[in-house]
Structure 1
Amino acid sequence: MALDPKIAGRLKRAADGLVPAIVQQHDTGEVLMLAWMDDEALHRTLTTGRATYWSRSRGEYWVKGDTSGHVQWVRHAALDCDGDTILLKVDQVGAACHTGDRTCFDADVLEVSENA
């Protein structure tokens, strides 16, 4: 089976065929991570309800939680208005970040000037 052609036709992929996926906790809106998907990863995610991504470093698909137990159960999926970003709202079990942190965005907070 392949990704629904209506969805595939809306995707605007980077030169490497990938689309960024922003992942949020479904009930709080907390931003958990950013990962990469191609058509197959998105198809697997939509048909299994488990977040599946393409690992650029390993060159293979990975289902979030298969090795760590930190599963992402997908509750909602959407494309942005341009079709170049995917938003997944998930029920995150355990840490989302490979470092063991809840989110990938809490370890290196940047200061913003009050005058910005």
Structure 2
Amino acid sequence: MSSTPRTPSDLDPAIAARLKRGADGLVPAIAQQYDTGEVLMLGWMDDQALHLTLTTGRCTYWSRSREEYWVKGDTSGHVQHVKSVALDCDADTLLVKVDQVGAACHTGTRTCFDTDVLLPLLPAEPAE
């Protein structure tokens, strides 16, 4: 595959016209468990990856490190079955609600956001 996501794509032109992509042609896609609201992972989609996600019912992402498309679960068996896809108000981020089978994270954990929790720095209580 080429070093940048493939264009043109089969994505509906009306949807493509609404997307605000980064300079690399990608849009961040947040995968969320549809029934619990658990945030699972962040992936990247170009127009073709979004088209495949919408038409196959399986999440397809663009790998920035491997520079190729990948369908979540094809290698690991940890499939994401798409329940819905929504654009945020700026049309620059996708929210993909999925039914996750197994781990979502490449490390083998359920979510990519469960091991390095950063606590907010709260202001000191005023002295009385």
Q: Same fold (TM over 0.5)?
A: yes
Aligned residue in 2 for 1:113: 121
Give how far 1:112 is off: 1.6
Q: Does 1:94 align with 2:102?
A: yes
> Which deviations, in whole Å up to 9, do the C-alpha atoms of 1:40-62 show, x marking residues without a partner?
00000000000000000000000
Structure 1 runs, 4 residues or longer, greater than 4 Å off: none
Q: Does 1:28 align with 2:51?
A: no
- Which AA in structure 2 matches 1:93? V
Q: Unaligned regions of 5+ residues in structure 2, if any?
A: 1-8
Aligned residue in 1 for 2:112: 104
Give how far 1:111 is off: 1.7
Task: Give the distance between the partners of 1:111 and 1:74, measured in 2 at CA.
Answer: 31
Give how far 1:115 is off: 3.2
Q: How high is the sequence identity, in percent, across the aligned residues?
A: 78
> Which deviations, in whole Å up to 9, do the C-alpha atoms of 1:50-97 show, x marking residues without a partner?
000000000000000000000000001010111100000000000000
Q: Unaligned regions of 5+ residues in structure 1, if any?
A: none
Give TM-score scaled by structure 2 length.
Answer: 0.88
Matches within 5 A, 1:48-63: 48-63=56-71
Give how far 1:11 is off: 0.3
Aligned length: 116
Aligned residue in 1 for 2:83: 75
User: In angstroms, what is the RMSD of aligned CA positions?
Assistant: 1.2
Q: Does 1:4 align with 2:30?
A: no
Give TM-score scaled by structure 1 length.
Answer: 0.97
Task: Give the distance between the partners of 1:22 and 1:74, measured in 2 at CA.
Answer: 12
Q: Specify the structure having the higher radius of gyration (Cα).
A: 2
